[in-house]
Chain A
Amino acid sequence: MKIHEYQAKEIFRRFGVPTPRGEMVTTAEDARKVAQKLGVPVVVVKAQIHAGGRGKGGGVKLARSADEAAKLASKILGMNLITPQTCPGGRIVRRLLVEEGLDIKHELYLSVLVDRAVEAPVVLGSAAGGMEIEEVARENPAAILSETIGPAVGLQPYIARKLAFSLGLTAELAQAAVPFLQSLYRAFIETDASLAEINPLVVTDDGRLIALDAKMNFDDNALYRHKDLLDLRDLDEEDPLEVEASNYKLNYIKLDGTVGCMVNGAGLAMATMDIIKLAGGAPANFLDVGGGASADQVKNAFKILTSDKEVRSVFINIFGGILRCDVLATGVVAAARELQLKLPVVVRMEGTNVEQGRQILRDSGLNFTIGENMKDGAEKAVRLAGGAR
């Protein structure tokens, strides 16, 4: 799960990671009030969307007065912010963070994440603050410092000092880096984060270490033990169909093709997208109904698929193991009847009781096309969607 910068900064502050003073606002008037309250010569108005590169897209501006802050806020609020990380259509800005401007001496990069290669959390640091870490990794991998944190030992002071001195910080700042990093690490561990990133981390003219930006992502599998974090979810930042699918516990990701896919299992679902592409078509979505999909899940999946207006045909690809093909076919027929489905549907089933399943589809009197195998099914679905593009 992703959250906004201002929310990540609230979590940071709770764990003792210093951030600039500021508040989230949703109107220009509130932006003016916050700017006044901050009482500093320069405030920063930052668009809050779940994508990076906001500055490049014109979503981050400096204001030298409360009036200017209000003026900038009214310009940014409601704008369609396009950044290298948003979809090409961009994202509507609904929230702003107004915070104090700081005198910055230099910028660094710092993050905590789980490195699957070492099966443990790592702290990454780089002197190239403000640059995307992926870019640094490509162009100058030696500039990235990495420290693996043993889960039993935790982040010890020496690790913070080692990083700080390697990043060229003064002895004084290296001392300040110890509580800073330990707080950040605690915030990461105690929220089951998958990423806590500060880019840039700044050293101010008056010698303080401050998280000028903040990004946190959380492990979806651990959210059951962090009910408070669930409140931070911003549904405006997610595709409405994906939100609906998640309510049904379906794993759905909207794509931009015309062949709707319903598959059991994530790997097979990805492979199904691939084979549709190979057949000359384009998948409209990724949809995993789960290893043991029920008739109800099939119905919910149909609802989601058919509310995507781009979908021209549906390809159901199920390898029945524990889930029997006759049970699945019954569910598909019932759902198609109940939803009065108009779209052409290609069903490819394999596994337990496949013949009974196919018979149920044929006997239904509904317009199902049978795919003999995965390739045949994909080709038929692409043809029914209007052919190759």
Chain B
Amino acid sequence: MSVLVNEMTRVIVQGVTGREGGFHASQMIAYGTKVVAGVTPGKGGTLHNDVPVFNTVAETVRATQANAAAIFVPPPFAADAMLEAIDAGLPLVVCITEGVPTLDMVRVAAALRGSRTRLIGPNCPGIISPGKCKIGIMPGQIHREGHVGVVSRSGTLTYEAVGQLTHLGIGQSTCIGIGGDPIIGTSFLDAMRLFNDDPDTHAIVMIGEIGGNAEQQAAEFIRGHVRKPVVGFIAGQTAPPGRRMGHAGAIISGGSGTAKEKYEVMAAAGIHCVQSPADIGQTLAAALSKSVAR
């Protein structure tokens, strides 16, 4: 089992004829993902790398029974692409695009409320259930099938954590990169709920960052509801306040959103907190063996 994506997931790629979209569509297909179609307005009826291209998301969904979309369109058009996918009623939309204006995301967030769509991202590496389905840009080969759920705001730092797990022989059920922007579709809390309800996920890794309070909200939920071991790391312990550290969401303002504050709430919720990013894998391994022994 896994969450959100599996062997049954049928994916369309919005922006499939672009450089990024085309490249990653082929990578996803090579991994075994069922990429059923692409969407590029004006290029409907053509084939791109053997993938049929349509003009609109609505007609693509009708023709292919797709149930997920991957978005690779440039930032000025990304919100429009997300809104189109939500309007077409797709249950899962993964937006990889980095640099979407915040006020565009305010509109997308409003459209998501009351819709049947779950959005992941934007500004994220995507989601992968190893061995089953990959929607995104993560290197597939570092993953391994297994029972640890990974949720993270970052891209390469997630690869680092996954790499450590795989190196120790610990596989993953699903890895979700939720994205580094201030307004995102799926929060840590949402991901935590999904992993908690998935019987095949036995432990969870949460990789947070400075800024906002999404990690604290997830920690509150974990304290009340999660009996699976959770390992947590917060990047940016040494970041100076008030500066945007690459990710638009990673900024400490007015003394809130600091790593220290987040670690305190996480530790109080029983999360195994990791101070060094090099210890994520080992700590999870130790937590797992303890919980099995119990």
Contacts and interface: CB of A to CB of B under 8 A. Distances in A.
Q: A and B from one assembly? A: yes
B258 interface: no
Interface string A149-170: 0111000000000000000000
Given A189-B103, A221-B75, A266 B250 contact: yes
A225 B74 CA distance: 14
Given A114-B182, A114-B183, A319-B156, A269 B238 contact: no
B141 interface: yes
A219 B245 contact: no
Given A137-B254, A270-B250, A221 B102 contact: yes
A221 B100 contact: yes
A287 to B, nearest CB: 9
Contact of A255 (B240, B248, B249, B275): B240
Interface in B46-78: 75-76
B159 A120 contact: no
Interface string A104-124: 000000000010110111000
Given A120-B109, A275-B277, A351-B142, A264 B235 contact: no
Interface residue tally on B, bucketed by range? 35 or more
Interface string B226-270: 000000010111111011111111100111000000000000000
Interface string A238-275: 00000000000001010100000001111111111111
A107 B249 CA distance: 32
Contacts of A138: 255
Contact of A266 (B107, B142, B245): B245
Is chain A's binding surface mostly helix, strand, loop or mixed?
mixed
Contact of B163 (A194, A273, A291, A319): A319
Nearest to A223: B101
Interface stretch (B4-12, B31-39, B204-212): B204-212
A350 interface: yes
Contacts of B75: 221, 224
Contact of A265 (B103, B105, B106, B155): B155
A357 interface: no
Contacts of B212: 116-117
Contacts of A266: 154, 180, 245-247, 250
15 contacts: A120-B109, A134-B253, A137-B254, A151-B106, A192-B101, A219-B248, A221-B75, A265-B154, A267-B158, A268-B154, A268-B157, A286-B239, A350-B160, A374-B160, A375-B276
Interface of A: 85, 114, 116-117, 119-121, 133-134, 137-138, 150-152, 189, 192, 194, 219-222, 224-225, 251, 253, 255, 263-278, 283, 286, 288, 291, 319-322, 350-352, 373-375
8 A-B pairs with the lowest CB-CB distances in the bound complex, closest first: A267-B154, A266-B246, A265-B156, A134-B254, A267-B157, A222-B101, A321-B139, A119-B109
